Amino acid sequence: MGRLAQTDGLTDVQDEILKTIHQYVEDKIIPVAQDLEHADEYPQDIVDGLKELGVFGLTIPEEYGGLGESLLTYALVVEEIARGWMSVSGVINTHFIVAYLLMQHGTEEQKQKYLPSMATGEVRGAFSMSEPGLGSDVSAVSTKATKTDDGYSITGQKMWLTNGASSTLVAVLCKTDEGSDSVYKNMTTFLVEKEAGFGETAQGVTIPGKIAKMGYKGVETTEMILEDHRISADQILGGTPGKGFFQMMDGVEVGRVNVAARACGLAIRGFELGVAYAQQRKTFGKQIADHQAVLFRIAEMATKVETIHTMMVRAARLKDTGKRMDVEAGMAKMLASEYANEVVEDSFRIHGGYGYSKEYEIERLMREVKFMLIGEGTSDIQKMIIGRSLLKDYKL
């Protein structure tokens, strides 16, 4: 590991976990990422290795078979994995959010039912809030859960499910008529069980196929069609309807830390590739790293990497204390995504024409890093969240 993006105050256990993941990334992910990404092939061997390392149960309490680690530990692990191949971090991200939702909001019966199998990776989680016409306006959710004699019937179309096919448990936000005047109290999160794969994966649940993307390949992104899907009231997250919006926003908050960590990983790798190439390529009789323009670019890239890593770590630590951190998570996500794009583009510029070739890793990073700008809310949405919260804190 280089001197950048180091984290003070970690325990010996955290240090050991990060060293293990770093070595796994070096040995098992980076050497195959290019070929798998270009083929848009699911990284099954890598995922199986992460299962063996206990990554799927990293934050799940020991009493449910997990490692019981903090959000900070998880974020630093994600940063390392994204440095190797961002898509792999996506494989565990939505799984982590569902496990987090269960830990924070699930009933004891739901925790006992799902968390031990999630810790081993046997049950894989996915997170479903978005819809084709939804965007960032969660109040416009149209997927409807209607009460029946023996539970609920869910009908609607969900969009942008990471791990939509490989998952077997999906946390789905639905509109329910609970009699409240507030639209936000008329939403409920359901725990929908299904089989892995495409097509009809459960009664009334269809995963049509993979959505073709410019980057973020390997991991599948899908739609989910629900047509009169019958589900019992026991599958309401937490057992009480009408709390779905607030549960999902809690999940999105930790998701923003996750995206910030992924952006940090991409920025670190972009810097590594750029500074290495700058010492290999020679022009006018010297390595291009000795040209002032390139040297300044390297200094700015490193400063941005250090800045966003520090902000991401602070947001994760705040969440671990249970303190309010909507501003910190929004700031970390916004700046990390923007700076990661700038660092990767600077590395691309250092590579010159070779950066445009698929033979070079930086070409893949250029496509992957764009997702950071929109995942878990755009920078504009983050600014709205940050601004509104600060106005409350500094109200005259």
- Positions annotated as catalytic residues are 376
CA distance 368 to 3: 25
The residue length of the chain stands at 396
CA distance 68 to 57: 8
CA distance 256 to 308: 13
Helix-helix angle 108-120:86-105, to 10 degrees: 160
Secondary structure of residue 374 in the 3-state scheme: coil
CA distance 95 to 47: 12
- Residue 18 near residue 39 (C-beta atoms within 8 A): no
The C-alpha angle with vertex 23 and arms to 21 and 27, in degrees rounded to 5, equals 120
Burial profile 167-198: b = 16 or more Cβ within 10 angstroms, e = fewer: bbbbbbbbbbebeeeeeebbbbbbbbbbeeee
CA distance 61 to 70: 10
Dmax of the chain from CA atoms?
81
Which element (helix H / strand E) includes 169? strand 169-175
The contacts of residue 384 (CB under 8 Å, 6+ apart) are none
The contacts of residue 335 (CB under 8 Å, 6+ apart) are 307, 308, 311
User: Is beta strand 125-128 parallel, antiparallel or unpaired with respect to 169-175?
Assistant: parallel
Looking up tokens 């930790």 gives: 254
In the structure encoding, which two tokens stand for residue 73, read together? 């530990």
